[in-house]
């Protein structure tokens, strides 16, 4: 355990010393992966799928606020939708604009959640996102989780139906609009996933704030169970697009990743918990003090011995 704590402290010290350079580099990597993922999944137009364009946008994102990366991702996605049809671009753009306004109003600091959600869906472990959001963010992070889920399913729907939408009567805009809107509204499985992810986020947030031992661990497992129950029950009646085997494996992997996050963000020693009580002129105070797990750094003193002649 002490070896892991030492590795954690080394990583923290390294990041704090080189944050000025590491943060833009990490934003560049994230932007590169996000844009590349959009182009890979949709990839309708080669004009913005060019690697030079992707690198330029990633470099620009490294110098700009994180929320602008969300805007870049929306613009790239809508351009791909436009290549499918004008109706796809209008419908998708309207959904993204509404989500962005909602997200920017209630959860503007959680841009990473919106960006990571479609990526983790592709990795088959999207369940880790609501758990980690509940651990590290406020309850408003639920809005970002919901926006990420909707964005993924809108992109998936447009991708799966691109050929059929393109083959519809090009002169009849109403037919295309109706097909797209009806298709998006009829996906009841999205509501099941939204309910599962948002419920898990809120449950984890509530439990990890409790003044009980192992609150974060309890929150992780409780949120996972809530998600599993809702998804399994909802999957009996609606198509969520998640197979049972992949869902169980993804939930187990998400628990492990959440425990890793807990190790770096909230690693305490409950065996040394202290209850402190004191008072002033107006109040009595009851404080529960839990020490963090840490390792003492050895101080090395180098002495130079010289002979005196």
**Ordered per-residue pLDDT tens for the chain, 309 residues:** 677 777 777 887 888 888 888 989 999 999 999 988 888 877 656 677 788 888 999 999 998 888 888 899 999 888 888 888 787 888 888 888 988 888 888 888 888 888 888 889 888 889 999 999 999 998 999 999 999 999 888 888 888 887 777 776 555 667 677 777 777 777 788 889 999 999 999 999 999 998 888 899 999 999 999 999 999 998 888 877 788 888 889 899 999 999 999 988 887 777 788 888 888 888 888 888 888 877 665 555 556 666 554
Residue 101: predicted pLDDT: 87
Q: Which residues contact 228 (CB under 8 A, 6 or more apart)?
A: 247, 248, 251
Within-domain flag for 29: no
- Return the structure tokens found at 161: 């139906």
- Let me know if residue 20 belongs to a domain: no
| Predicted pLDDT of residue 243 | 81
Residue 274 lies in a domain: no
Q: What is the pLDDT of residue 40?
A: 82
Q: Tell me if 232 is assigned to some domain.
A: yes
The neighbour count for residue 199, using CB atoms within 10 Å, is 17
| Euclidean distance between CA atoms 33 and 129, whole angstroms | 17
Residue 175 belongs to domain spanning:
85-268
Residue 308: per-residue pLDDT: 54
Q: Which two tokens stand for residue 91?
A: 């419908």
Q: What is the phi/psi pair of residue 275, to 5°?
A: -105, 115
Tell me the longest C-alpha to C-alpha distance in the chain. Answer: 103
pLDDT attached to residue 51: 85
Q: How many CB atoms lie within 10 A of CB 87?
A: 22
| Predicted local distance difference test score (pLDDT) of residue 225 | 95
In angstroms, the CA 131 to CA 261 distance is 10
Contact 91, 154 (CB under 8 A): no
Distances (CA, A) of 99 to 74, 107, 182, 219: 10, 11, 19, 28
Which spans in the chain are helix H?
2-17, 19-41, 51-62, 66-84, 86-106, 111-122, 128-136, 141-160, 162-167, 173-185, 188-208, 215-235, 244-265
Phi–psi pair at 26, nearest 5 degrees: -65, -35
Q: The whole model's pTM is what?
A: 0.84
State the Cα–Cα distance between residues 90 and 71, nearest whole angstrom: 16
Give the C-alpha separation, 5 to 144, whole Å. 31
Count the domains in the chain: 1
**Is 64 a domain residue?**
no
The residues, any chain, with a CB within 8 Å of residue 22's CB and separated by 6 or more, are 15
Which positions ≥6 away from 148 have C-beta within 8 Å?
113, 114, 115, 116, 117, 118, 129
The pLDDT value given to residue 296: 63
Q: In this predicted structure, what is the pLDDT of residue 5? A: 73
**184 falls within a domain:** yes
Q: What is the DSSP string of 37-48?
A: HHHHHT---STT
46 assigned to some structural domain: no
- CB within 8 Å of 8: residues ≥ 6 apart: 263, 264, 267
77 found inside a domain: no
Residue positions counted in the chain = 309
């Amino acid at each position: 355990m002490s070896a892991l704590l030492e590795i954690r402290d080394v990583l923290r010290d390294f990041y704090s010393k080189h944050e000025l350079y590491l943060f833009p580099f990490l934003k560049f990597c994230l932007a590169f992966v996000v844009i590349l993922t959009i182009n890979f999944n949709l990839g309708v137009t080669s004009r913005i799928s060019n690697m030079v364009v992707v690198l330029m946008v990633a470099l620009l994102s490294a110098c700009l606020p994180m929320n602008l990366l969300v805007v870049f991702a929306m613009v790239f996605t809508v351009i791909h939708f436009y290549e499918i049809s004008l109706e796809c671009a209008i419908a998708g753009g309207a959904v993204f604009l509404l989500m962005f306004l909602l997200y920017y109003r209630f959860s503007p600091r959680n841009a990473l959640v919106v960006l990571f959600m479609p990526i983790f869906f592709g990795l088959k472990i999207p369940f880790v996102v609501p758990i980690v959001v509940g651990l590290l963010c406020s309850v408003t992070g639920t809005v970002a989780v919901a926006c990420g889920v909707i964005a993924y399913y809108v992109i998936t729907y447009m991708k799966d139906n691109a050929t059929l939408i393109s083959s519809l009567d090009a002169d009849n805009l109403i037919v295309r609009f109706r097909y797209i809107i009806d298709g998006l509204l009829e996906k009841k499985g999205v509501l099941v996933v939204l309910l599962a992810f948002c419920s898990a986020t809120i449950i984890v947030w509530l439990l990890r704030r409790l003044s009980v031992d192992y609150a974060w661990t309890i929150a992780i497992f409780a949120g996972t169970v809530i998600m599993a129950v809702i998804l399994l029950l909802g999957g009996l009646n609606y198509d969520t697009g998640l197979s049972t085997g992949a869902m169980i494996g993804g939930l187990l992997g998400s628990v492990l990743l959440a425990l890793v996050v807990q190790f770096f963000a909230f690693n305490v020693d409950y065996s040394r918990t202290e209850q402190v009580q004191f008072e002033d002129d107006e109040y009595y105070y009851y404080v529960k003090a839990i020490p963090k797990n840490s390792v003492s750094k050895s101080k090395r003193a180098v002495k130079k011995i010289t002979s005196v002649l």
